[in-house]
Structure 1
Amino acid sequence: MNDLIKKFIPDFDDNLLVLEKETPNATPAPPEKYRVLLLNDDFTPMDFVVDVLTHFFHHSEDIAYDIMMKVHLEGSAICGVYTAEIAESKVAQVTEYARSHEHPLMCKLEKDES
């Protein structure tokens, strides 16, 4: 073998550890999902909550109204289920939007166990 080639090819001994390749049929585990929830407060107008649900979560007016009523009556409701990065982004966007309109609307995420 050429000395120049030997310089770039390491010498291996017979005690090599051979790792098996991952089989091409193996599918990776799906990413963990997180629920984004809106929390009730006594100050944020209901129509603002419906606006948030239609704008940020792309719900229809009817579905948004139903979710808003659940928040109002039960204290919280799920707006959507997303991967971690998207859920965190939704929480940040809703919180920033609410604060910019001077509303205390709270939005949080929790791990989806289903």
Structure 2
Amino acid sequence: MSQNHTRRDAETALLDRMKTTPPKRYGVYLLNDDYTTMNFVVEVLTGIFMLPKERAVAVMLLVHHEGRGLCGIYTRDIADTKQQQVLQRARLEGYPLQCIVEEI
């Protein structure tokens, strides 16, 4: 009987270890400014975030009218990478475009 009890404890411990929580999700947002062109924002959205042109235009307009727009939802590492890609590309092109990452 103690052997059966030990076996059940081991199975329970194994199941507890197998249960994992899904990774946290993070939104990547572009912020509006008075200098970055709308065309450049669309290029960033299609090139970095792989959005179709129509969706990229919709997000660009959201950034323009609302002050910020959601580009995508990712795990932390991917969100940080996307943010760095945006900031680097904006700097190379001479734009002050800002990009932030927030937990969803």
If the TM-score is normalised by the length of the shorter chain, which range does it land in? 0.7 to 0.9
- With normalisation by structure 2, the TM-score equals 0.85
Match of 2:3 in 1: none
Matches within 5 A, 1:92-111: 92-111=84-103
Work out the percentage of aligned pairs sharing the same amino acid: 41
Aligned residues: 94
Q: Summarize deviations over 1:22-75 as a string: whole Å, max 9, x none.
A: 228943110000000000000000000000000000001100000000000000
Indicate the residue corresponding to 1:15 in structure 2: none
What residue identity is the alignment partner of 1:22? L
The one-letter code of the counterpart of 2:14 is E
TM-score norm. by structure 1 comes to 0.78
Which residue, out of 60, 64, 67, partners 1:72? 64
SS in 2 for 1:81: strand
RMSD: 1.7
Gap runs ≥5 in structure 2: 1-8
Q: Which ranges of structure 1 fall in alignment gaps of 5 or more residues?
A: 1-18
- If each structure's helix is expressed as a fraction of its own residues, which one has the higher value? 2
1:12-31 paired onto structure 2 within 5 Å: 20=10, 21-23=13-15, 26-31=18-23
Q: Greater Rg, structure 1 or structure 2?
A: 1
